[in-house]
Amino acid sequence: MSLPPLQPEQRIKPPGFELRISLIYGAIFASLGIHLPYFPLWLEAEGFNAEQIGVILAAPMFVRVITTPVISAMADRARDRANILVAVSLASLALSLGYFVPASYGVVLAISVLLAIVWAPQVPLTDSLALSGVRRFRSSYTAMRIWGSLAFLLASVVGGAILSVLSALAVPAMISTGLAIACIAAFLAPRLGPPRRPAGVAGAAVLASSTRLFGLYFMLFVAGTGIINASHGFMFAFVSIYWKGIGLGDTTIGALWAWAVVAEVVAFLVFNRILGRVSATTVMMIAGFAAILRWLAYPLIEPAGLGVFGFFVVQSLHALSTGLLLIGLQKMISETVPEERTGAAQGVAFFAVGFSMAVVTLGSGPLYERLGIDGFYVMAVVAALGLALIAAASLSQRNHPHKSGVGGDTIEPS
């Protein structure tokens, strides 16, 4: 299905496009750099047990896998996707203030669920804007997205230093501050207008085009990606608590999270030179093997007496298990999904990634209660299942080269 040609105004690159998208990524991931490593510590400081922490972390994931694809699809139909980004950024800031209410289990759970509805779409919305720039202006996705990783890194380090002085009770104020910065950045988002759509196509043809979005290759790829990514859920939920339990300080914990992001940044910097011509499925298979190795290694560090150094070494695998996973997913979408369906594709991928992560995170509470750090062995099995699905996607692509991607060779560069 052919897309209409770019209109003259669509060929005009907004001033500072890459800089503005980079600032948005940075602002969004700065708040995530506080939430991911330190929100579980705040929950523990407020007296919640492991199973309650697992539910508080998992319930928002189940909600956002439903709401984020809906919001992403709505953005495809909006006058400009940047307007939707502004709206969800403002709502996120407002809802985050609910964490200042006395922290009962019901209140924290409700705020977390509502916040997820408007916080979660910010990254896929920004990805949609960035990929439009890749197609229209030949912008570099990795050059923009890397600033999100750098901001996450800085927030993790600074956050750990702050918490070492103020304690984990400062986490809500730090999250709200990050979301306030994200609001400011959202107002700077470049306006690109609505994405291009096929012109003069009957309703049945549009439906057929939508159906092609859920082809076998696409579905196997996003399912495998989601499961590999979900194997990180146990780490995200409980590794900070584990490190705290074996005597590591907040500053060291922040440094360990930051080191993982340093490794991710290196992956973004060298990807085009080393793996730029490699297929998306191969990239994702490397990520899957790295995840398996990472989870098998975690429980062995402390018994082997490797201490903090050992954890830094294992955290280096974040470059492959997460960095390549992020790049591989966007590489597949940019190469196989036409522009007018990018938002919907991001939504479908988000559903697969988010639902898998929610299931694993929900099970992580009981798993940590029963197995402690040995729960990582279960995560190795989860990653292996995701790797098997990526291998199946690769096989599907080889057997049906013209049907494996969305839009196939009808996609036009823009």
pLDDT (tens digit per residue) in 285-321? 999 999 999 999 999 998 888 889 999 999 999 999 9
Distances (CA, A) of 177 to 35, 183, 187: 12, 10, 16
pLDDT of residue 211: 41
Please name the amino acid found at residue 38.
Answer: Y
The pLDDT of 381-401, averaged and rounded, is 86
Contact 27, 338 (CB under 8 A): no
Residues 278, 143: Cα–Cα separation, whole Å: 18
CB 310 within 8 A of CB 301: yes
Contact (Cβ atoms closer than 8 angstroms) between residue 336 and residue 407: yes
The pLDDT-based confidence of 97 (bands split at 50, 70, 90) is very high
Measured CA to CA, the distance from residue 126 to residue 81 in angstroms comes to 9
Name the residue with higher pLDDT: 141 or 90.
90
Residue 275: predicted pLDDT: 78
Over residues 349-363, the mean pLDDT reads 86
| pLDDT at residue 267, rounded to an integer | 86
Res 102 pLDDT > 60:
yes
State the pLDDT at residue 4.
53
For helices 171-187 and 17-45, angle between their N-to-C axes, nearest 10 degrees: 160
CA 228 to centroid of chain Cα atoms: 12
> Is the pLDDT confidence value at 237 over 50?
yes
pLDDT, mean over the chain: 83
Q: How confident is the model at residue 228 (pLDDT cuts 50, 70, 90)?
A: very high
Tokens of 41: 């510590």
